[in-house]
Structure 1
Amino acid sequence: MSFIAALCQATNLKELYLSENNLGDDDDIRSNSKALLCLRNLTSLEMLDVSYNNLNASSAFLKAICQISNLKELRLYSNNLGGNGELPRCLLHNLSSLETLDLSFNNLKGLPAIPKGLGGLKNLKELDLHDNSLTNEGLPSGLLNNLSSLEVLGMSGNKLTSLPTGTNYINLTYSLFEKLDLSYNQITSNIASLIFDNLTSLESLVLSNNQFFGELSFSIFANLSQLTEIDLSNNYNLDVDTEVVSLVHTSLQGIISPSLLYNNTSPKHLSLRGNHLVGQFPKMPFQNETTRLTFLDISDNQIEGQLPTNIGDFFPSLHFLNMSMNELEGKIPSSFNRMWQLGVLDLSNNFLIGEVPSGLSQNKTLLSQIILSNNKLHGMPIFTKMDRLANLRLEGNCFTKPIIINASSVRSLFMLDLSENYLLGYLPNHLPILPNLRVLHLRGNHFFGQIPESLCQMTKLHTLDLSNNHLSGSIPSCLNSITSWKKKSELQEFLPYFDQGFRRSSEVKINFATKGHMHTYKGEPLRYMTGIDLSKNQLTGQIPIEIGDLRELHSLNLSNNFLVGHIPESFQNLEQLESLDLSHNKLEGRIPHQITKLNFLSTFSVAFNNLSGRIPYEDHFITFDNNSYIGNDELCGPPLQMNCSLFENQPPRPKGNDFGGGKKKLLAKVMDEDLFFYSYVAICYALGFWGVIIPLILSKNWRRKYYRIINGCIERCREWLLGFSFYVHNYF
C-alpha cells in the first residue's frame, strides 16, 4: 500500500505533521496526482504542518490540500512558494475555515505569488508572512481590509519601505488586533503619522529595526489600554520629544536605552516603574553633556551593578529619583552631592554598601525625602542644615553608631525610621526638639535604659514603635500629653518637594505592626493611623491608667514585657482601638468587663499572664478564641474549657483577725514553711557548688572548657564596657 493510500484511511485524524519529508520532490506523489484526491476523506483533520518540504506553487501535494475543507491551521513555512506561479486559488476558496496560515520563509515577493483572494479568508485569525521578500509594490491592494477576524499579523524581515498604501492595515476598522510585528523592514515613515486609535485590543506592537523618524509622542498609544509590549528599538532617527513618558507596569523588557536619558530631546518626566528592565544603569555616552530630566522613576525592575560614579554630573535638574527595588550594588556615588535640585531620593531595597556620602546629608536645602532602607549601609551619618528634610528612612541597614541629627536645623522632620539596625545606647535625647515629628520607629535595635519622659513633648506623634529593644523601667504616664492620640488629627498622605520652583508631592508609606502582622500603610488608611508598640522589651511596673485617655489610638502593643498589676479600667475609653496585645506579661486580676464596649476591637490578646476570674464573653468579644486567653491558669468561662464553678465554690480565704483558735497553728505552719525553704536552699547550694567543683577537680578537659567560657565572658564584658564608655565620652 502506498503512502497516500495509507494516509487517506486515517479518517479520524485531527493533527498531521509531515515536515521535512521532501514532498515537493517525491516521484510517487507527482506520478499519482489523481490518488491525492482521496485526501478529501480526512474530514476530521484540523491542523496540517508541511514545512521544510521544498513545495512550490505548482506542487501536486499543495493542490491536494485544497480537498481538506475543514482545515483550521496550515503551516507552509520554509518551502519554495516564491518561485514561479502563484498559490493555488483553491487554497483560498476551499479552505474557508482556516484560522492560522503560516507562509513565512518562502521568498514571497508579492504578486502573483500572493493573490488578492487571500483577503477572502473571513475566519483567519493569524497570518504569518515574516522573512520573505515582500515589497510595497508587490502587495495586493486592499489585501488585509477584509480579514475581519485577524488578531495576529507578522510581517517582520521583509523589504517594506513604507506603510503599504491602499492596505490601510494600521488603521483597521476592526478592533480584534492583538499583535502586530513590522520589525526588520526598511520603513521610512514619520512616527507621528501612525494612527492606532481603533486597535483597542492591541497587546504587542513591534516596530524595531526600521527607519522611523520624527518626534515620538506616547499620546498615539493613549487608547491602547491592553498594550503590554512596545518595541521601537534600533530606530536611530527617532526622537522622544515629550514632557511626560509614563510606562508603568507595561511589561517592558531589555535594557534602558542611553538615548532615552541622555538626549536633548529626552523627556522631563520618565517613569518606567514595575517592568522587567535588566542590565546596568546606562553610562553617559558623551562627556560634558547633561539631561533635562527632572523626574526619573525606574523602581521595581532588575537593574543591577554599580551606579556610574559621575551620575550626579549628568542630572543637574533632577528633582525626583527613585531607583528602589532593583539589584544595585556598591557604594552610593559621592556625585549625588552635585544634584543640587534633588528633592526626593529613594534607593531602598537594593544591595548598596558603605557610608552615606557626607554631602548628601548636609547642606541639601531642597532635599525633603531620603529613603535608603533595606540596604547594607553603615557608618555614622550626620544630618544637618537640611531645612526641608521631612522623611528620613534608614531602616534595615547595618548602622551601629548613633545617627546624629542636628535637631535645630532639621526641625521639619516628619518621619524618622531607624528600625532593624544595630544601634546601641540610650534613646536619643534630641528627639523632643523635633516638634513636627509624626512617625518615630526605632524597632529592632539595641537601645537600653528607660523611656525618657521628654518623649512626651513630641505632641504630634501618630505612630511610636520602640519594640524589640532592651528598654527597662516603667511606661511614662505622660503619654497622654501627645495630643494626636487624644484628639482626631490626620497624617499627611503626601509630602511636598519642589520641582522647578513648583510645589509637588510624593506618597508616604510606613511599616507598622498591628493585629499580629507587619503592615504597610499608605493612602487613606495612613491618614488616620495611630499606634504604640513597646513590645519585646524589659519594661516593668504597672500600666499607667493615663493610657486610657488616648481615645484616638488604633493599636496598642505592650506584649512580651514584665508588666504587673491590673488591666486599667480606663481602657474602656479607647474608643478607636482596633488591636490590643497585652500578652506575655505578669498582669493579674480580672479582665475589666467595660472593655467589651470597644466596638472596633478586632484583635485582642491577654495570653500568658496571671489573670483570674470569668472572661467577659459578650458582644463582639465572642469572636475571640482560646488563643486570646491561654496561659492564665485561673481564667474561666468560654471560650476556655475551664468551668468557673470550680473557683466560685471554693471557701473564701480568711481575712483580718478571723484566725480564731487556729492562729497558732497557722503561725506554726508559716515557721515550718520557712524551715523548709531554708533547708531547700542549703541543699540546692551544696549540690550546685560541689556539682561544679568536683568535675573541675577530677577532669582536666572540664577545667579547660570552664576557663575558656569564663575568659570569653570577661572579654565580651570588657568590649561592651569599652563601647559604652566611648559612647558616653563622645555623646554626653
Structure 2
Amino acid sequence: MYGLDLSSNRLSGEIPVEIGNLHNIRSLNLSSNRLTSSIPDSISKLMDLESLDLSNNKLDGNISPQLASLDSLGYFNVSFNNLSGEIPINGHLLTFGEMSYIGNAHLCGLPINKSCNSFPEQAKEEEEEEGDGVIDMSYINSLIPSPHEVRNLESWSDDPKSDCCLWERVNCSDAIGGHVVDLSLNEIMPYTVMDMISLNLSFLHSFPQLQSLDFSFNAINHLFDPIHGYKSFQRLEKLRTLDLSYNNLNNSVLPFLTAARSLRTLNLRSNTLEGVPPLNELANMTELRVLVLELNRLISSFSVQGLINLRELEILDLRSTGITNIEAYDGLRMTKLKTLYLSSNEFSEAAQLKGLENLVELKVLSLAGNYFNHTRSIEVLKDMPKLQELDLSSNRFSDLNGNHEGAVFPSSLQVLSLQGNQLSLTAKGYSNICALTKLRELDLRYNALTNLPYCLCNLSRLRTLDLSDNQLNGNLSSFVSGLPSALEYLSLLGNYFSGSFLFSSMVNRTRLTVFKLSSEFGSIPYNISKIKHLESLDLSSNRLDGHVPPQLADLDSLGVFNVSCNNLSGEIPFNGHLVTFDEKSYIGNAHLCGLPINKSCNPVPEPSASKQAKEEEEEGDGVIDMVWFYWTCGAVYISTLLALSAFLCIDSRWSREWFYRVDLLVHHFQRFKDRFL
C-alpha cells in the first residue's frame, strides 16, 4: 500500500503508534477528523513518506523533532490543531513555510515568526478584571449536557474554589491562577446528543484576555447572548483565533462575527452557510488574515469586491463551496491576498476566472479537482506576475499546447502540479513547461506520458521531478541523460523502461538525494557511490540481479535504502553506513545471505562417513519395510482363502445357493462351447 486517505471522516481518538509499521506508505492523509492527543513519534519511521496531512484535527502537544528526518517529505500540513511549543525548524522541516502550521495558537518560533517567550505579565487591573473568571468557569458545565460523561473533561469541577487553569483544555498565561488565554472546547458534545445545540456565549464575559477559542466538532447550530446580544465577541479585544468548524451554523452566525474585530484567523469549515460568500458581513474584521469557508453551501459568483475591507487578508479557502465564477471588479488591485484555494469546485471556462486579474499579489493558487480541459480556460493565469505555486491536479487536461500564441503559465512559477490528469503531451505542450525557467518542483504523476523532451534540461533550477505511474518507455540511460542535472528528487516508479540498469548517466548528478525506480533489470552499479549526497535510494520490486555493491556503504547521507523484492544474491556488505538498515531493506531476495537477514553464507556440510551411514540406514529401513509389506499381503490372501473354504464347507442355505450358482455358470459355459464347436 502506497497511499492512505482517511480524510473528512469522523475518526476519533489517538493516532495509533502502529502506523509506523506502514513502511512502504508514501502518502498519509488523516485531515479533517477528530483525532486527539499528540503526533506519535513512530511516524518518523515512515522514511518513504512524501505527503503528510494531519490538518484540521485536535492534536495537541509538541511537534516531534524526529519528523525532521523524513527526507522524502514534500508536503507537510499540521494546521488548525492545538499544537504548542517551539516548531523544530531543522532537517527537512526547513523546507516548509508558515502555511503548514497556521491555526495553532500556541506554536512559536520560525517560520511563523512568533516569539517563544512567555506571555508578559498583565497589569494589576487586568488581573482583577479576570479574577472572577476562575469561578465563573464552572458555568460552562451548565452549558454542556452531562459534562462528566464528555470525553477529556474529567478534570473539570463544579467547585468554585477549583483552579480552572489546571483543567484540561484550558491554558492560562502562567502556571497558577493566571489569565485564561486559550479554550479548546472542541468535541465537548457527546455523540449521543442528536438535537442541535444553542450555545450561550455569556460565559465569555469573564475572559477578556482570551486569545484562542475552539468550538469545532460540536452540534452547534445557533449562538445567543442574553446580555450583550450580537456584541458578545466585542469584549474579547485580544481574540485572535476562532474555530467554529464542523458544526451546523448557518448565516445567523454572521452578525455575531461582525463584532469580532480583533480576529486574525476565522475557521468556518463544514457548516451550513448558504448563498453568496459572506465577505461583506465580515467587513469589520480589518485584522483578518486567514479565512476558511471550505465545505459550505456557497453558490453562484464570488466577487473580489468583497475583499476590499478585508485589507489584511492573506489566505482565503473556498474549497468545495460550489462557487462557479470569480467576478472581476474594475480598478481593484488586491495587494495582500497571497494564497487562494479554489479546488473541488465546478470551474471549467476562462470567463469564470476573470476576477483573478485583480489579485496581483497572489503567490499560491489551487484549482485542483475542477473541470478544466484546455489551456484556453486558464489563460488568465499567464498575467499573474507573482504566482509561484499552481495546483492543477485532478482536472481533465490532455495536452498543454493551446490555440493561442504565447505562454500558458506565468514565468514566475516555481511549483507546478499536474498530477492526475490525462496528459499525453505533444512537443508544443512540453515547450510551455520548458519555458518555466524558475521551476523548482514539477509533479506529473498519474498521467499518460510516453516520453520526455530534451528541453527539460533547460530547467536548471528544477529540484523535484515526479513522473510516477505514467507510460514512459525506452532506454533508461538515454532517458535519464535528458533530465536536468540539478535534480535532488526523482521518482520513476510505475513506468515501462527497457534496457539494463545503467547508472553511469547519473553519476555526475551529485545533488541527487532521492531516487526511486521500478520495472528494471540488470545489476546495481558500483559507481552509484559517487552520488555522495544521496539520501533515499529505492530500487525495490525490480528484476535486479548480481551482488549488492560494497561501495554503497560509503553513502553516509543515505537515510532510506530499499532493494527488496529483486533477484540479488551473495553476501550483504554489512559495514559502513549499511549497518543502519535492517532486514526489511533486503526481503524478497532468496539468494542474499549474511547480516542483517541472519542467513548463513557458508552452511556447514555433514561429515561424509556419517552421511553415508545415514543413507545406508535410510536404505535399510526401506528394505525392511518392503519385506514386511510382502509378508502382510501374503498372510491376508491366505487367510481370506481359508475363511472362504471353511464357510463353503458348512451345510447352509448360503452355501447351497453358492454351489447352485456355480453349477449354473458351468452349465452356461458348456452350452456356449457346444454351440460353437
Length-normalised TM-score, structure 2: 0.50
Shift of 1:434: 1.4
Which residue among 438, 442, 450 is the counterpart of 2:440?
438
Partner of 1:176: 164
Residue 485 of structure 2 aligns with an amino acid whose one-letter code is: I
Q: In the alignment, does 2:324 pair up with 1:331?
A: yes
| Structure 1 CA distance for aligned equivalents of residues 233 and 272 of structure 2 | 23
Maintained 8 Å contact 2:342/2:366: yes
Partner of 1:359: 354
1:185-204 aligned at under 5 Å gives the runs 198=179
Maintained 8 Å contact 1:328/1:352: no
Partner of 2:557: 600
Shift of 1:255: 3.8
| Structure 1 CA distance for aligned equivalents of residues 546 and 590 of structure 2 | 12
Which residue among 506, 518, 525 is the counterpart of 1:547?
506
Q: Please give the secondary structure, in 2, of the residue aligned with 1:412.
A: coil
Instruction: Report sequence identity in percent.
Output: 23
Maintained 8 Å contact 2:317/2:340: yes
Shift of 1:471: 1.2
Q: In the alignment, does 2:412 pair up with 1:412?
A: yes
Partner of 1:457: 458
Partner of 2:297: 305
Shift of 1:271: 1.7
Q: Please give the secondary structure, in 2, of the residue aligned with 1:454.
A: helix
Q: In the alignment, does 2:357 pair up with 1:341?
A: no
Shift of 1:417: 0.8
| Structure 2 CA distance for aligned equivalents of residues 258 and 150 of structure 1 | 27
Q: Which has the larger radius of gyration?
A: 1
Q: 1:613 to 1:156 in 2, by over 3 A?
A: closer
Maintained 8 Å contact 1:337/1:360: no
Which residue among 521, 524, 534 is the counterpart of 2:492?
534
Which residue among 410, 428, 431 is the counterpart of 1:429?
431
Partner of 2:391: 393
| Structure 1 CA distance for aligned equivalents of residues 447 and 595 of structure 2 | 39
Partner of 2:365: 370
Deviations 1:644-675 (A, max 9, x none): 458xxxxxxxxxxxxxxxxxxxxxxxxxxxxx
Deviations 1:343-392 (A, max 9, x none): 43432554545446342566864332211234565554233222211111
1:62-211 aligned at under 5 Å gives the runs 151-153=137-139, 175-176=163-164, 198=179
Shift of 1:464: 0.9
Q: Please give the secondary structure, in 2, of the residue aligned with 1:428.
A: helix
| Structure 2 CA distance for aligned equivalents of residues 565 and 278 of structure 1 | 58
1:251-650 aligned at under 5 Å gives the runs 253=247, 254-255=249-250, 257-259=253-255, 267=261, 270-273=264-267, 277-280=271-274, 295=288, 297-299=290-292, 303-316=295-308, 320=313, 322-324=315-317, 327-335=320-328, 340-341=333-334, 343-347=337-341, 350-355=344-349, 357-359=352-354, 365-375=360-370, 378-380=373-375, 381-382=378-379, 383-402=381-400, 407=407, 410-426=410-426, 428-449=430-451, 451-473=452-474, 474-475=476-477, 476-478=479-481, 482-483=485-486, 485=487, 530-541=488-499, 542-559=501-518, 561=519, 563-632=520-589, 634-640=591-597, 644-645=601-602
Partner of 1:12: none
Q: Please give the secondary structure, in 1, of the residue aligned with 2:450.
A: strand
Shift of 1:539: 2.1
| Structure 1 CA distance for aligned equivalents of residues 139 and 285 of structure 2 | 38
Q: 1:311 to 1:338 in 2, by over 3 A?
A: farther
Shift of 1:463: 1.1
Deviations 1:9-64 (A, max 9, x none): xxxxxxxxxxxxxxxxxxxxxxxxxxxxxxxxxxxxxxxxxxxxxxxxxxxxxxxx
| Structure 2 CA distance for aligned equivalents of residues 178 and 228 of structure 1 | 20
Q: 1:544 to 1:266 in 2, by over 3 A?
A: same
Residue 331 of structure 1 aligns with an amino acid whose one-letter code is: T
Maintained 8 Å contact 2:328/2:356: no
Q: 1:388 to 1:632 in 2, by over 3 A?
A: same
Q: Please give the secondary structure, in 2, of the residue aligned with 1:604.
A: strand
Shift of 1:553: 2.8
Shift of 1:309: 1.6
Q: 1:260 to 1:199 in 2, by over 3 A?
A: closer
Q: Please give the secondary structure, in 1, of the residue aligned with 2:430.
A: coil
Shift of 1:457: 1.7
| Structure 2 CA distance for aligned equivalents of residues 337 and 603 of structure 1 | 53
| Structure 1 CA distance for aligned equivalents of residues 199 and 354 of structure 2 | 44
Residue 508 of structure 2 aligns with an amino acid whose one-letter code is: D
| Structure 2 CA distance for aligned equivalents of residues 285 and 551 of structure 1 | 50
Partner of 2:52: none
Shift of 1:244: 8.8
Partner of 2:37: none
Shift of 1:533: 0.9
Shift of 1:418: 0.9
| Structure 2 CA distance for aligned equivalents of residues 173 and 201 of structure 1 | 20
Please, which runs of 5 or more residues in structure 2 have no aligned partner?
1-130, 144-159, 168-176, 187-197, 604-677
Q: 1:176 to 1:548 in 2, by over 3 A?
A: same
Deviations 1:85-121 (A, max 9, x none): xxxxxxxxxxxxxxxxxxxxxxxxxxxxxxxxxxxxx
Q: Please give the secondary structure, in 1, of the residue aligned with 2:442.
A: strand
Q: 1:360 to 1:579 in 2, by over 3 A?
A: farther
Residue 444 of structure 2 aligns with an amino acid whose one-letter code is: L
Shift of 1:341: 1.2
